[in-house]
Chains A and B, each alone.
Chain A
Amino acid sequence: MAYTVEGKGPSHIGIRMSNDAPPSHKEEARAQAEEALFGFWVFLMSDLIIFSMLFATYATMTHALAGGPGPKQLFDIHSAALETIALLLSSFTCGLATLYMRYDGSVKKTLLWFVVTLLLGAVFLSLELHDFIAMAAKGGVPSRSGWLSASWALIGTHGLHVTTGCIWLLIMFAQVAKFGLDPLVQTRFMRLALFWHFLDVVWIGIFSIVYLLGVIS
């Protein structure tokens, strides 16, 4: 049987690495990065099913108010609009950060934009926390009705994901401090960026289905 030449897998396209490693290492790092990114996409799709199930449960429970407060009383649509803007801007800054990382290899600019992303994420989370407190104050606690359980679970799961993203960003700052922007740190940032953009896509579903359709029901 024939054998392959070591270190020369099939060529991969897609990820740009701005480091000066020798070509074979570069090739290998690229193949590994591609594998990691594809694996992360697969994870995101699995996560998408989790959100789909939460959305489906929510949709089947829109009538399950059990005499408790409903979306009209509980949802603050202005706050939802602000959250939408914060998250959207954070997606943009996150994109900028990866751009500076991949093309310029500039640690300073990359970090700057990721810090802005983190701050916008924190703004989003504090607005959301504020919403939750306001809801609870109006009697909209998750144990009040099936619909409230479903809304808290759906919005809360998204919020938990954003929190995870923020903690992940902090960990990545520590990694940059220790390793600089080496290829492994770069692929981790790429995955984090995918995660962040993905959460923004899920948020589109939340503000459309939960908030907007909720208040006009």
Chain B
Amino acid sequence: MIHFLFGELGYNALPFYSAIATVAASVVVLGAVVVVGSITWLRGWRALWSEWLTSVDHKRIGIMYVVVSFVMLARAVIEACVMRSQQAVAYDSPGFIPPEHFAQLFTTHGTIMIFFMAMPFLIGIYNFAMPLQLGARDVSFPVMNSISLGLTSAGAVLMMISLCLGKFSTGGWTGYPPYTELSFSPGVGVDYWIWALTLSSLGNTMTGINFAVTIYKKRAPGMTLFRMPLFCWTALCISILMIFAMPPLTVATLMLAMDRYLDMHFFTNALGGNMMNYVNMFWLFGHPEVYILILPAFGVYSETIATFSNKRLYGYTSLVWATVSIAVLSFTVWLHHFFTMGQDGSVNAVFGIATMLIAIPTGVKVYDWLLTMFRGRIRLSVPMLYASAFMILFVVGGATGVMLANPGFDYQVHNTLFLVAHFHNMLIPGLLFGMLSAYHYWFPKAFGFRLNEVWGRIIFACWTGGFLLAFMPLYIVGALGMPRRSQEFFEAVYQPYMYVALAGAALVFCALASMAIQLWTSIRNRDSLRVFAGDPWNGRTLEWSIAAPPPEYNFARIPKVDSVDAFYQAKQQRTAWRAPDEYFDIPLPANSPVGFLCCVSGGAFGFALTWHIWWAVVVSALVFFGSIVLRSFNRDTMRIVPSGEVQETEENWLLALSETPPVANEAMFTTANRGLVREPV
């Protein structure tokens, strides 16, 4: 009976096997208690439910995605610091973390950073900004959007639960079999990993479909594809990548699950299984995934560099084609992740050359950005700092990428820290810096006040300094031959580099702390940072043409677009911010609890499968599909914002706008900026 009720779950699942695990689990539980307690104390449950959890507004969903990613970022950065500390003391010594725990740490660090930090971060930013840039009122399928958020969050919650109940996988973020098969990893760890990934990749596939249809069908009249902001182009490309690259991952993880649960033989050593099938499929997903992670940053930099150089983006068309070719080429290079599998040299040569080809469109982009800055009126805002750091560091990372694209070189540094240094060098400047600049750039649009500038610069300094200190030494030790994922090492020559890397990790931790402080002081001083007029950076695209924060319907009237940078042009011609002659009722999608129900039941489904609680598997699956089916019988899915209300909101804002003194270009970062900037002459 007990076994029927709880499956494999028992007292020994509690994290008392090591002090560090106990502390980590207590922090998670304590954090949850504090969050629940403070919501209760602030009497926020009703507002949380009706304004956030059941909201299908793309802006709110976007913000919730970013919240998820910040929580997960904090956990994964702390894990990175713990691992760096271990390696700093690991010369000829077991250090303070046993091997199995160390393996859990690098597995969760990688899994979280890719699937639960990077993906929610970029999806959140797109969710917020892309429909605004297109001149749309929402995405094509708002309820599906909230289901996507629900599934991704369910995966993230599963990751957090794995800290408290049972041990996580030790198979690395790629989860290669046969090690992750039942015979070598009998615990629940790999199951946690499988279901967290499957949930999030289903959510991401749905997001891809949603974004692609939104871009195809919901652009403002007159906005042809070649008049879209470049950020939307990258959104289109990553949606296509998500639509086509997530399925191989889903298939690979589900086949691994079938091996583990149903005793099948896809990737086992015995009875005809072939682990390379897994590796092949994983990277059919994995390489496009790299570009899902990097293209958004390219999009953000294209926006911020143009805005803060006060110049039209140089070579718009070439940037579009470069983006599209990167997206297509990304489907042709997956084999470079397993050059050492044992295939023919000619196969390696083909994929090596294809890999090097990607450097060409990427190079085009870097030159386009440089030429956008050339003779522009550059304002060194926080996003601009990130963009500058990116352009230098990303070229270094790209160069090591071209080195690794050479199979001969790859054989040498395969599985060493050189590789670890390379992909962190791509993903920190190429993803995280991009997303952090997006966060600074659009935060005032989302919440109506700017983030503190000084702390923004401190965060930037910590991230760049921390990154350089933490990862440049790894190139050297990698070339010297230090394997990645080492819990202990025996070469004295590695040791000094490990100390430098630890210092870098400490600085990154400071960056994380500074982010918390920045958010805190910005919220406290929000009144002096307000930019209600809505255009604090002298923006060029449609999202800056409305109030900050935007009204729920985004645009009182859908704008007509006849060029790239239509809003900037309208400002030049003094036709921007014109009150429409008439207001209409605006239909908006009504709130729906389906996304939240899918989150809860999806998470319960994953948890129940992990612990073999079969009755809960059935119940949660029924709740999941039942809520979607029941929703299809609901015809009361729209809500009307009456024209009177629209008129009042708009007139209030237009009045405030006319009373806002425009700030000089040079004073953009002072409290004089109320959301309107004078065009420099």
Contact A153/B632 with A1-B566, A35-B217 known, Cβ cut-off 8 Å: no
Kindly list chain B residues whose C-beta atoms are within 8 Å of the C-beta of A29.
none
Kindly list chain B residues whose C-beta atoms are within 8 Å of the C-beta of A6.
557-558, 584
Docked-complex contact B209 and A149, CB < 8 angstroms: no
Contact A66/B265 with A1-B560, A35-B217 known, Cβ cut-off 8 Å: yes
Docked-complex contact B221 and A9, CB < 8 angstroms: yes
Fill in one digit per residue for B255-269: 1 if any A CB lies within 8 Å of its CB, else 0: 100110011111010
Fill in one digit per residue for A31-63: 1 if any B CB lies within 8 Å of its CB, else 0: 100110011001101110110011001001101
Docked-complex contact A64 and B264, CB < 8 angstroms: no
Docked-complex contact B247 and A50, CB < 8 angstroms: yes
Answer whether residue B670 sits at the interface, using C-beta atoms and an 8 A cutoff: no
Answer whether residue B244 sits at the interface, using C-beta atoms and an 8 A cutoff: yes
Fill in one digit per residue for B271-315: 1 if any A CB lies within 8 Å of its CB, else 0: 111100100010010000000000000000000000000000000
Docked-complex contact A34 and B558, CB < 8 angstroms: no
Interface size on B, residues (CB 8 A): 55
In the bound complex, CA of A149 to CA of B261 (Å): 12
Docked-complex contact B559 and A146, CB < 8 angstroms: no
Report the minimum CB–CB distance from A3 to chain B (whole Å): 4
Answer whether residue A116 sits at the interface, using C-beta atoms and an 8 A cutoff: no
Answer whether residue B251 sits at the interface, using C-beta atoms and an 8 A cutoff: yes
Docked-complex contact B246 and A46, CB < 8 angstroms: yes
Docked-complex contact A149 and B243, CB < 8 angstroms: no
Docked-complex contact A3 and B580, CB < 8 angstroms: yes
Docked-complex contact A46 and B209, CB < 8 angstroms: yes
B175-208, CB < 8 A from A: 205, 208
Report the minimum CB–CB distance from A69 to chain B (whole Å): 13
Q: Closest residue to B252 on the A side, CB-wise?
A: A53
Fill in one digit per residue for B559-574: 1 if any A CB lies within 8 Å of its CB, else 0: 1100000110010000
Interface residues on A, range: 35 or more
Report the minimum CB–CB distance from A25 to chain B (whole Å): 11
Contact A54/B558 with A43-B209, A49-B244, A171-B629 known, Cβ cut-off 8 Å: no
Docked-complex contact B266 and A146, CB < 8 angstroms: yes
Contact A35/B213 with A1-B566, A53-B247, A57-B281 known, Cβ cut-off 8 Å: yes
**A34: which of B209, B217, B221, B272 is its contact (CB, 8 Å)?**
B217
Contact A149/B580 with A53-B247, A60-B274 known, Cβ cut-off 8 Å: no
Answer whether residue A217 sits at the interface, using C-beta atoms and an 8 A cutoff: no
Q: Closest residue to B242 on the A side, CB-wise?
A: A46
Answer whether residue A65 sits at the interface, using C-beta atoms and an 8 A cutoff: yes
Report the minimum CB–CB distance from A64 to chain B (whole Å): 3
Kindly list chain A residues whose C-beta atoms are within 8 Å of the C-beta of B217.
31, 34-35, 38
Kindly list chain B residues whose C-beta atoms are within 8 Å of the C-beta of A31.
217
**A146: which of B262, B273, B545 is its contact (CB, 8 Å)?**
B273
Answer whether residue B513 sits at the interface, using C-beta atoms and an 8 A cutoff: no
In the bound complex, CA of A10 to CA of B635 (Å): 25
Contact A49/B248 with A1-B559, A39-B209 known, Cβ cut-off 8 Å: yes
Answer whether residue B490 sits at the interface, using C-beta atoms and an 8 A cutoff: no
Docked-complex contact B216 and A38, CB < 8 angstroms: yes
Q: Closest residue to A188 on the B side, CB-wise?
A: B632
In the bound complex, CA of A10 to CA of B255 (Å): 45
In the bound complex, CA of A43 to CA of B560 (Å): 30
**B271: which of A2, A146, A171 is its contact (CB, 8 Å)?**
A146
Q: Closest residue to B263 on the A side, CB-wise?
A: A143
Docked-complex contact A60 and B272, CB < 8 angstroms: no
Kindly list chain B residues whose C-beta atoms are within 8 Å of the C-beta of A45.
243-244
Answer whether residue A4 sits at the interface, using C-beta atoms and an 8 A cutoff: yes
In the bound complex, CA of A60 to CA of B284 (Å): 15
Contact A38/B566 with A2-B559, A153-B255 known, Cβ cut-off 8 Å: no
A43-93, CB < 8 A from B: 43, 45-47, 49-50, 53-54, 57, 60-61, 63-66, 68
A-B contact pairs, 7 of them (CB 8 A): A2-B559, A4-B557, A6-B558, A42-B212, A50-B251, A61-B274, A179-B635
List chain B positions with a Cβ less than 8 A from chain A.
Answer: 140-141, 205, 208-210, 212-213, 216-218, 220-221, 243-244, 246-248, 250-252, 255, 258-259, 262-266, 268, 270-274, 277, 281, 284, 545, 557-560, 566-567, 570, 575-576, 578, 580, 584, 629, 632-633, 635
List chain A positions with a Cβ less than 8 A from chain B.
Answer: 1-4, 6-7, 9-10, 31, 34-35, 38-39, 42-43, 45-47, 49-50, 53-54, 57, 60-61, 63-66, 68, 142-150, 152-153, 171, 174-175, 178-179, 184, 188
A7-B584, A53-B252, A188-B632 are known; give 9 further A-B pairs, CB within 8 A: A3-B580, A4-B221, A42-B243, A49-B244, A64-B272, A65-B272, A66-B270, A66-B271, A142-B258
In the A-B complex, the 10 residue pairs with the closest CB atoms: A64-B272, A146-B272, A3-B557, A149-B264, A49-B247, A66-B272, A2-B560, A143-B263, A66-B271, A53-B251
